[in-house]
Structure 1
């Protein structure tokens, strides 16, 4: 009887741990070091030429304790392959390096995360057509709600503007809003979406895609693997160079 009870408790504990890992796998504010390998294949851009492109992103996130305050540092570096003109040629290379430090505010509920902090974009592009060619400063705000083991949701909101010498280029003023919602299907499978909606305050161009994701969360020892694919389609856009249709796929890893 005692052995059966202990076995049941152990199984329940394992199941609860697995559910928590699945619920937190897409939390950008999870108190866990993470490394992400992400890719956007853009099948077609708005504007002439019906041209395609690609953006490959390496991303690293690490929680940091500074005194009594908790921060999340997230750094991203893209490798871009974008069309040039309408002749079918492309330009390839590293894009601008992006980093933000989000101060995590105590919500009183460990399942609800909320953070805000500064963002810096460095002009590291190997070709000025792959980046803004100017330093940028901005702000990032993140919210994630994992109170339900079945349904999680939240958003990432950022704005950044060009500072200093713009080298003759228009000064950047770009906002982005990334809503996300995920529904757990069981056995590590989940669905949902996390499109990025952008708005250019300088020329009022914008992009509003929607997508549907299929993902799988796998926990191995002290690593949580999150693999997914998410086709996205534009439902509203303005201006040339916006993605009409793209496929977002990734391998995200959290190190417990």
Structure 2
């Protein structure tokens, strides 16, 4: 079933790509910014844009060792991700990236039974400082703290722990390519004493190529490493993917649309893990208020 969905997504992407008009609007309205530059900058985790990413994830969770998850189970996740940037001077930029997740998630309600629960997950906040002001090409990097707050409305949707750690980003960007990595790590330091401690790494790597103005082809999966899993084969989730994105104008507002399918070539074997992830993202680019 999952492979059929993946092929259908790829076919849809090919049809969508073939429908690009030769008269594609690659410029924003008069006084606006070039849409191709916006498209590239929107893929930069420490860029200078104000935007609101809405990422809708459809995850297929599976495990041969857990009876309830021998058949893939669908988990829905909506990540609401505003991005705000501040430039106190020409030498530095501050980037704030909160993430507010909502879930409808399956869990083992018994040996052979799958139940589900919906609600708010644990919220995240990352703040990074990057040198270079509005630098939009060449090698770019940033670093800062990242935190997770125990806001989940159900124990199956979060870890129940206050978490803190470092974040960094390093990338190369020009008018055609955006290539880089965006790692974060969290350690728990407080929270529900009955819940297990957390030591978790999430490293997003991204490779995007622009074959035509306002279009990108590539991927941006998340590698996950749960260092607290007692068995080494359950710690790593390593996906690869394929996606397409398009920057366009909706009225006077630039909006980036993207679709992507990721398959985990390495995933946990004794606990449920992501086998497939299908992502649809809508990202309006906002005028800066200050």
Question: If the length of structure 1 is used for normalisation, what is the TM-score?
Answer: 0.87
Aligned to 1:229: 259
Matches within 5 A, 1:139-158: 139-147=166-174, 149-158=175-184
Kept in 2, the 8 Å contact 1:45–1:52? The answer is no
Query: Which of 280, 283, 288 is equivalent to 1:249?
Result: 280
Query: Which of 98, 103, 127 is equivalent to 1:80?
Result: 103
Kept in 1, the 8 Å contact 2:42–2:49? The answer is no
Give 5+ residue unaligned stretches, structure 2.
1-26
Aligned to 2:220: 194
Q: Distance in 1 between matches of 2:252 and 2:144?
A: 29
Kept in 2, the 8 Å contact 1:44–1:246? The answer is no
Deviation at 1:221, TM superposition (A): 6.6
- Count of paired positions: 243
Q: Distance in 2 between matches of 1:44 and 1:132?
A: 18
Deviation at 1:167, TM superposition (A): 2.3
For the aligned residue pairs, the C-alpha RMSD in angstroms reads 2.3
Q: Distance in 1 between matches of 2:116 and 2:159?
A: 17
2:197 partner SS: coil
Kept in 2, the 8 Å contact 1:139–1:160? The answer is yes
1:186 partner SS: coil
- Greater shift, 201-210 or 212-221, is seen at 212-221
Give 5+ residue unaligned stretches, structure 1.
1-10
Q: Distance in 1 between matches of 2:84 and 2:194?
A: 36
Aligned to 2:46: 29
Aligned to 1:136: 163
Q: Distance in 1 between matches of 2:282 and 2:135?
A: 28
Query: Which of 124, 130, 148 is equivalent to 2:151?
Result: 124
Query: Which of 111, 115, 120 is equivalent to 1:89?
Result: 115
Deviation at 1:154, TM superposition (A): 1.2
Q: Distance in 2 between matches of 1:187 and 1:69?
A: 29
Question: If the length of structure 2 is used for normalisation, what is the TM-score?
Answer: 0.77
Distance change (3 Å), C-alpha of 1:35 and 1:70 = same
- Higher strand content, 1 or 2: 1
Q: Distance in 1 between matches of 2:97 and 2:130?
A: 13
Kept in 2, the 8 Å contact 1:21–1:219? The answer is no
